[in-house]
């Protein structure tokens, strides 16, 4: 993409309504714009990051054996009345009437609808286990929308639902999702810690929140510092391996404030390893048995010919909260650096020449060359001053830059990783370097 053809409305100043760095940066770098309270448009740069995150989430769900479908944003109130949550959900639910005066709502989550789909289409134990998911916009009329897309009213969520014959199998589905969340967040370069959590209005008795630690987070958390050092690289989905990894986490203390017990914390964790801090919830998993399959009368026929209510779990990831969460974790007050898995562009080409001169030609040439080699560069071909170009790119956070100025020889390119030193590379070295960066550990 050439910047002169793009929509990247950079703001020089931080808008006063933005209180935390991710909100400030997302507004300043032209990723999002508020359209009304707690409701945002995703401008091209933000949309690219959002889509990359969505795809990583999708890939890991597929690997864990979940199957994608798509349910609507608008749901009938009937199934919510049947489950009993129509009244329980309170003012967070956006209620709508259609022209026939029928009660509809904008879905805040999908336990009821997926149970209905299951009920209408699955009858036999032979179809279990089954894990279904979708990535769809949700609406919750939050009492205090704030921090930009971190806590907004319309947001994109990945939600998965598992159906099993018995509790033991349901726990295995739960563990698979637990592991797939660890892998997903690792791919996003986030150190997410699973913590015992309250189940809230969804109900059930087993629940973990996945939390990244930042002092701007809304959750108060207590944990054993050793949790920060667990290496989860190279993990696979064999049952043994799943148990081994989950064990590493679950034997160390971690809890959100609702589940925290000071006496347990002191008993289980040495003083020097106790960490009491704040964090951002990026995912939440629940096992809730037959709460919805019972109330909505979903039944499966067992091998023995009995009809039983399947055991269910639900598993959410805040996809549109993640760009903000990544910024909170990665921004260091001087510049933003996107993890390479979600960077909006692979590399920035900063053209310091003038329209039509040698430097300009060289910039356009390397831009075409990289595009022909399947890279996605952003070429700054505007007439802004060099100082302002550098400043803007520190803000946008593309992790690699190629700087084209008049001092370089014709076949030499200045290559820089944000926050690190520069190196001089030939064209073919440059290509190899980018291949190494982006194709090596995928
Ligand atoms: P919270 O405690 O933050 O309100 P929740 O427990 O209500 O979250 P879930 O129902 O478990 O959230 O939703 C799954 C995920 O969706 C959460 O882990 C979070 O990442 C995201 N999420 C929930 N509410 C919002 C919101 N208002 N804005 C953006 N993302 C949200
Ligand atoms: Mg909530």
Assess whether the C-beta atom of 283 lies below 6 angstroms from ligand 1.
yes
- From ligand 1's centre to the CA of 318, what distance in Å? 6
162 forms bridges with which residues in the sheet?
131, 313
- From ligand 1's centre to the CA of 21, what distance in Å? 20
Confidence tier at 239 by pLDDT (50, 70, 90): confident
Mean pLDDT over 370-393 rounds to 97
In angstroms, rounded to a whole number, what is the distance separating the alpha carbons of residues 28 and 20? 12
Assess whether the C-beta atom of 327 lies below 6 angstroms from ligand 1.
no
Its sign, for the CA torsion 223, 226, 229, 232, is negative
**Atom 1 of ligand 1, residue of closest alpha carbon:** 281
Q: Cα torsion at 36, 49, 373, 187 (round to 10°)?
A: -170
Confidence tier at 199 by pLDDT (50, 70, 90): low
* Assigned token pair, 218: 């809304």
Q: What is the mean pLDDT of the chain?
A: 95
Residue 123's pLDDT is what?
96
- Nearest ligand to the C-alpha atom of residue 192: 1
Q: How many CB atoms lie within 10 A of CB 412?
A: 16
Assigned fold of 347-439: Rossmann fold (3.40.50)
**Atom 21 of ligand 1, residue of closest alpha carbon:** 318
Residue 396's pLDDT is what?
96
Assess whether the C-beta atom of 281 lies below 6 angstroms from ligand 1.
yes
- From ligand 2's centre to the CA of 205, what distance in Å? 18
Q: Is domain 9-330 classified as CATH 3.30.930.10?
A: yes
* Assigned token pair, 212: 């990244």
Residue 43's pLDDT is what?
98
Residue 237's pLDDT is what?
79
Minimum-distance ligand 1 atom for the alpha carbon of 202: 10
Domain ranges of the chain: 9-330, 347-439
**Atom 15 of ligand 1, residue of closest alpha carbon:** 318
Q: How many CB atoms lie within 10 A of CB 434?
A: 20
In angstroms, rounded to a whole number, what is the distance separating the alpha carbons of residues 181 and 212? 12
- From ligand 2's centre to the CA of 151, what distance in Å? 9
Assess whether the C-beta atom of 224 lies below 6 angstroms from ligand 1.
no
Assess whether the C-beta atom of 155 lies below 6 angstroms from ligand 1.
yes
- From ligand 1's centre to the CA of 105, what distance in Å? 18
Mean pLDDT over 286-311 rounds to 96
**Atom 23 of ligand 1, residue of closest alpha carbon:** 318
Q: How many CB atoms lie within 10 A of CB 358?
A: 12
Assess whether the C-beta atom of 140 lies below 6 angstroms from ligand 1.
yes
* Assigned token pair, 41: 């448009």
For 32-48, the pLDDT digits (tens) are: 999 999 999 999 999 99
* pLDDT over 80 at 202, yes or no: no
For 21-31, the pLDDT digits (tens) are: 999 999 999 99
Minimum-distance ligand 1 atom for the alpha carbon of 210: 18
**Residue among 16, 38, 4 at smallest CA distance from 321:** 38
pTM of the model: 0.96
Pairing of strands 67-68, 74-76: unpaired
Which has more confidence, 379 or 244? 379
């Amino acid at each position: 993409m050439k910047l002169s053809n793009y929509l990247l409305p950079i703001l020089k100043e931080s808008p006063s309504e933005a209180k935390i760095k991710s909100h400030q940066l997302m507004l300043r770098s032209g990723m999002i714009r508020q359209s009304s309270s707690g409701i945002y448009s995703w401008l091209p740069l933000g949309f690219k990051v959002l889509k990359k995150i969505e795809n990583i989430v999708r890939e890991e769900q597929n690997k864990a054996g979940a199957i994608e479908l798509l349910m609507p944003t608008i749901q009938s109130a009937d199934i919510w009345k049947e489950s009993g949550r129509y009244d329980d959900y309170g003012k967070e639910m956006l209620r709508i009437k259609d022209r026939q005066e029928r009660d509809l709502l904008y879905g805040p989550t999908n336990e009821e609808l997926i149970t209905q789909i299951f009920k209408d289409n699955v009858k036999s134990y032979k179809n279990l286990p089954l894990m279904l998911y979708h990535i769809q916009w949700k609406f919750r009329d939050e009492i205090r929308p704030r921090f930009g897309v971190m806590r907004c009213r319309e947001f994109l969520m990945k939600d998965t639902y598992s159906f099993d014959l018995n509790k033991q199998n349901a726990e295995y589905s739960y563990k698979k999702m637990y592991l797939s969340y660890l892998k997903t967040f690792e791919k996003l370069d986030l150190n997410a810690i699973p913590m015992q959590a309250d189940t809230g209005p969804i109900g059930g008795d087993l629940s973990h929140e996945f939390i990244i630690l930042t002092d701007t987070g809304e959750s108060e958390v207590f944990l054993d510092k050793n949790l920060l050092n667990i290496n989860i690289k190279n993990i696979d989905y064999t049952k043994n391996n799943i148990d081994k990894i989950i064990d590493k986490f679950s034997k160390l203390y971690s809890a959100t404030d609702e589940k925290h017990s000071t006496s347990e914390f002191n008993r289980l964790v040495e003083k020097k390893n106790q960490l009491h801090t704040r964090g951002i919830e990026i995912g939440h998993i629940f096992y809730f048995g037959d709460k919805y399959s019972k109330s909505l009368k979903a039944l499966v026929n067992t091998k023995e010919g009995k009809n039983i209510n399947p055991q269910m779990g639900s598993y959410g990831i805040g996809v549109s909260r993640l760009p903000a969460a990544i910024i909170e974790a990665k921004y260091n007050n001087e510049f933003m650096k996107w993890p390479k898995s979600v960077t909006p562009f692979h590399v920035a080409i900063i053209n310091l020449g003038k329209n039509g001169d040698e430097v300009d030609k060289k910039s356009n040439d390397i831009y075409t060359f990289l595009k022909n080699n399947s890279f996605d560069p952003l070429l700054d071909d505007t007439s802004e001053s060099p100082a302002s170009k550098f400043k803007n790119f520190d803000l946008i956070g593309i992790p690699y830059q190629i700087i084209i100025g008049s001092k370089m020889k014709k076949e030499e390119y200045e290559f820089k990783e944000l926050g690190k030193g520069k190196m001089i590379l030939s064209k073919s070295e440059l290509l190899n370097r980018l291949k190494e960066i982006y194709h090596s550990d995928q």
